[in-house]
């Protein structure tokens, strides 16, 4: 059985702690079951935005090697989702070799302290997590995904990236997919700062706004930011009986143009429960989804912070 450098469950809990500290009571979280898509009934009835995260860990692949793998069947499922509902992939960009627990203990740092900034620069998990969109992951693994061609998850593990720390721990050599160009990875904290300003083109997110404040037209990012700003100081209790509209980003019809946001039907489920959520042939990984749904209220949006 391959050894992970840090348990996925640990990463899930650390990311939840980070969001709870960063947004206090203005962030709501939910962990969907395998195959279940976003259901707006899980979300607070107030303005804000929702994103999904799929946490992956790195695997010790050799003395100075760390691999990040994804499941092609799971990626196939995610890639079929409509705009706004695709998860972000989150994984380590390691600057250590071997098992992180052992490395931390050798440095006299309790591994559990890595959840917090007090562990020190470059030790804090938020300093070495990075984020990719589902579309970016699917692009890196385009040939492998096409060859797989289904949502079957058993024996479908595939290398996303290998980090070779032989020459340098601070600047490891990266090999992506089957020789694909390196995508633009967003550092974990930068991701949340950007998301607070409605993110970047190609980012999957669902926007919730009072239904009487939007119409059936396209909105650009600056308009969405402005509308969220207008309602951010309203007490959430005032929204309990207010209908909310859901908006999602769509690629612009203009070549190279920015995303446009438009109203969609409220998602109340999606993927059928996967029949492939089982252990793979090597017993290495649980093939169930590791998604975290995070809803951030409008009151916490619109200002960048680390």
pLDDT at residue 273 in the model:
40
Determine the Cα–Cα distance for residues 225 and 198; give it in Å rounded to an integer: 7
User: CB under 8 Å to 196, separation ≥6 — which residues?
Assistant: 296, 300, 301, 302, 303, 304, 305
Determine the Cα–Cα distance for residues 101 and 277; give it in Å rounded to an integer: 28
Determine the Cα–Cα distance for residues 203 and 151; give it in Å rounded to an integer: 23
Q: How far is CA 248 from the centre of its chain?
A: 16
pLDDT at residue 200 in the model:
93
Determine the Cα–Cα distance for residues 227 and 85; give it in Å rounded to an integer: 21
Per the structure block, which two tokens stand in for 92? 């380590």
pLDDT band, very low/low/confident/very high, at 121 (cuts 50, 70, 90): confident
Name the more confident of 114 and 1. Answer: 114
Note the pLDDT tens digit of each residue in 237-289.
Answer: 889 889 999 999 998 665 566 899 999 988 875 544 444 444 333 334 455 66
The CA dihedral of 150, 155, 159, 160, to the nearest 10 degrees, is 40
Whole-number Cα distances in Å, 109 to 102, 103, 170: 10, 9, 19
Note the pLDDT tens digit of each residue in 5-57.
Answer: 999 999 999 999 999 999 998 999 988 877 666 677 788 899 999 999 999 99
Write down how long the chain is.
306
Note the pLDDT tens digit of each residue in 55-78.
Answer: 999 999 998 999 999 999 999 999
Show the beta-strand stretches assigned E in the chain. 3-4, 27-30, 48-55, 58-62, 65-71, 88-92, 129-133, 157-164, 173-176, 186-187, 206-210, 244-250, 260-264, 291-297
Nearest Cα residue to 171 out of 122, 136, 103, 243: 122
Secondary structure element (H or E) that encloses residue 63, with its range: none
CB-neighbour burial class of residue 152 (10 A; exposed 0-12, middle 13-18, buried 19+): middle
Whole-number Cα distances in Å, 271 to 33, 40, 289: 10, 15, 12
What one-character DSSP code corresponds to residue 137? Answer: H
Determine the Cα–Cα distance for residues 287 and 166; give it in Å rounded to an integer: 31
Note the pLDDT tens digit of each residue in 188-232.
Answer: 999 999 999 989 999 999 999 999 999 989 999 999 999 999 998
Domain boundaries, the chain: 3-300
pLDDT band, very low/low/confident/very high, at 105 (cuts 50, 70, 90): very high
pLDDT at residue 279 in the model:
39
């Amino acid at each position: 059985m391959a050894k992970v450098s840090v348990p996925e469950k640990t990463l899930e809990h650390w990311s939840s702690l980070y969001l709870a500290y960063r947004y206090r009571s203005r962030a709501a979280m939910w962990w969907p079951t395998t195959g279940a898509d976003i259901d707006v009934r899980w979300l607070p009835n107030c303005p804000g935005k929702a994103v999904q995260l799929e946490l992956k860990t790195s695997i010790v692949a050799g003395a100075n090697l760390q691999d990040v793998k994804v499941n092609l069947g799971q990626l196939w499922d995610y890639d079929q989702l409509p705009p706004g509902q695709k998860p972000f992939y989150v994984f380590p960009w390691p600057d250590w070799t071997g098992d992180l627990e052992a490395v931390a203990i050798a440095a006299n740092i309790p591994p559990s302290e890595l959840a917090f900034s007090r562990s020190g620069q470059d030790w804090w998990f938020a300093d070495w997590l990075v984020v990719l969109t589902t579309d970016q992951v699917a692009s890196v693994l385009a040939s492998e995904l096409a060859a797989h061609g289904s949502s079957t998850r058993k024996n479908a593990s595939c290398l996303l990236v290998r980090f070779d720390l032989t020459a340098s721990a601070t600047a490891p050599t990266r090999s992506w997919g089957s020789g694909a160009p390196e995508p633009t990875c967003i550092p974990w904290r930068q991701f949340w700062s950007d998301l607070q300003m409605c993110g970047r083109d190609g980012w999957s997110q669902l926007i919730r706004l009072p239904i009487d404040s939007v119409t059936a037209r396209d909105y650009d990012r600056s308009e969405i930011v402005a509308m969220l700003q207008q309602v951010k100081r309203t007490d959430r209790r005032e929204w309990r009986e207010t209908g909310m509209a859901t908006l999602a980003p769509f690629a612009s019809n203009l070549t190279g143009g920015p995303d446009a946001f438009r109203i969609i039907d409220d998602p109340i489920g999606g993927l059928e429960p996967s029949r492939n959520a089982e252990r793979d042939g090597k017993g290495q990984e649980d093939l169930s989804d590791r998604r975290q749904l995070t809803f951030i209220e409008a009151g916490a949006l619109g200002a960048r912070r680390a």
